[in-house]
Amino acid sequence: MVSVKPEQFRRIWSALITPTHEDESVNYDALEQVVKRQIEDGAEGFYCCGSSGEGLLLTLDERKQVLEHVLKAADGRVPVISHVGTIRTRDVIDLARHAMSAGALAVSMIPPYYYKFSMDEITGYYEDVIRALPDVPAIVYNIPQFTGIEFSKSNASRLLSNENIVGIKHTSTNLYSLERMGDAFPGKALINGFDEQFLGALAMGSVATIGTTVNLFAPLFHKVRDAYESGNMAEALRWQHEINLRVEKTVSIGIFNAMKYGWTLRGIDCGFCRAPFRPLNEDARAVMRELVAR
């Protein structure tokens, strides 16, 4: 029986970066510093080892260690979700078992990728993890531009009917699909995954956001949510414009590296993303200097 409730996800979550040294090894000291500072900035939870955290560029052991250090630094002040998705089901089960024993609130999983798995096989992948860990609260990670799989009310009904699936991280521009899934499965937490549509996702039923730019700009997300909840849509849109400016500029230079360099500018050297990513050039660094100084 899953004890986690949808309202526990009603937060602004940072899709946390993974700091690295020059030799690409994980900088766990910097990771803990960033977690503590982001909590001060207003991050209400952390999503580890997702896209922003280079999860698929980390070894399984590194993913476990990242989670443990994040939990240590958070020290119970905010919850942590561990992204455990990868292509091999046994590895997902291993990561999920570790995450729950370490103290994560829930796990999240991209669908298996590369091979053109059938929807039955994809659904079975999630069900195999739940079968191995009957108490695990799991969040489906819908990110079709990376995985090639778009979850919807029609193809995910069997999956979303499972009581262990407590929500969906919807990193898709299809807000109609988000609303339809929420209407069909009202007990699930709808979590926005695109920072640039936070306000729109709130209007379509999202209760939370997990965002890359939350790493550096958490206060802006609070301003959007506060204005929306008070009914001041003009103010909410004003702050969404500020988020979108930052999204536009960081996407143009490489958003994941941009977040890491932004923290370097704030005094915690987070290095750059692992190869085959390339470090930011000087023009891109100048863009980040301007954004961080705003």
Catalytic residues: 141, 169
C-beta separation of 17 from 270 below 8 A: yes
C-beta separation of 35 from 41 below 8 A: no
Pairing of the two strands 208-211 and 165-170: unpaired
C-alpha–C-alpha distance, residues 57 and 23, integer Å: 14
CA geometry: angle at 148 spanning 142 and 149, to 5°? 45
Q: Three-state SS across 120-137?
A: HHHHHHHHHHHHHCCCCC
- 102: tokens are 């370490």
DSSP H or E run through 12: strand 12-15
